[in-house]
Amino acid sequence: MIRVVLVDDQAVVRAGFRVLLEDVGDLEIVGEAASGPEAVAVVRRTHPDVVCMDVRMPGGDGLTATRQIVADRDRDGATLPAVLVVTTFDLDEYVFGALEAGAEGFVLKDCDPEDLADAIRRLARGDGMLDQSVTRRVIAEFARRRPAPTPGAEADLLTPRETDIVRLLAQGLSNAEIADALFVEPSTVKSHLGRAMTKLGTRDRLQTVVWAYRTGLATPT
């Protein structure tokens, strides 16, 4: 079972998500929160795999909460919980702020229930949301608004193979799809990608793609 925490200031929204997600079968709602500070406390208590985070909440925004959850996770050397932003705005400064804070994916509140469940599963597996249209649009617009003129010195540290893998990752390909494209094993892709992320100083796949867009290694399609 994938453990999920729901964060939204509207109780009716949380109740709706709970009904939809628990009906799926492999997802378990282990906690709810109505504000950012409450979300941090609930996550620390329940240790979920994924946090579905609203970003606009009058009792304390989701940006600060996301930043704290990611900081706690990084301090513990863990890969989970992942933060999935569930929002009504896909090209919004709050959403860009969540990306900077460490969110791994984005879905719109009016998405199909199965799309939400699939997004949660992908983040729990560590696959990221890079093939999801909202997330890719957010990344592209974020990169356009905050461009970096040229790749930094860290780009020169990447091997040609690592560069190819990061470029394909930015196109939304999974490790298995990258492996097929390069005629290598998925484990080889994972190893090269891990080394590339260490060189770039990026914490996850999504942050690596943001780097690729901002430096021009990848371009919006």
- Per-residue pLDDT for 147 more than 70? no
Whether 25 and 1 have beta carbons less than 8 Å apart is answered as no
Give, as one character, the DSSP assignment of residue 107. E
Q: Where in the chain is the domain with CATH 3.40.50.2300?
A: 2-143
> Which residues 6+ apart lie within 8 Å of 78 measured at CB?
none
- Per-residue pLDDT for 175 more than 90? no
- Residue pLDDT, tens place only, 22-44: 888 899 999 999 999 999 999 99
Whether 65 and 53 have beta carbons less than 8 Å apart is answered as yes
For residue 155, the model assigns a pLDDT of 65
| Higher pLDDT pick, 5 / 201 | 5
3 three-state secondary structure: strand
For residue 130, the model assigns a pLDDT of 64
Whether 165 and 193 have beta carbons less than 8 Å apart is answered as yes
Q: Average pLDDT in the 118-137 region?
A: 79
Considering only 74-83, 146-155, 178-187, 203-212, which range has the smallest mean pLDDT? 146-155
For residue 148, the model assigns a pLDDT of 59
Instruction: Give domain 2-143's CATH superfamily.
Output: Response regulator (3.40.50.2300)
List beta partners, residue 31.
Answer: 5
Q: Where in the chain is the domain with CATH 1.10.10.10?
A: 148-215
CATH number of the domain located at residue range(s) 148-215 in this protein: 1.10.10.10
Q: Average pLDDT in the 140-163 region?
A: 74
DSSP line for 167-199: HHHHTT--HHHHHHHHTS-HHHHHHHHHHHHHH
- Mean pLDDT across the chain, nearest whole number? 87
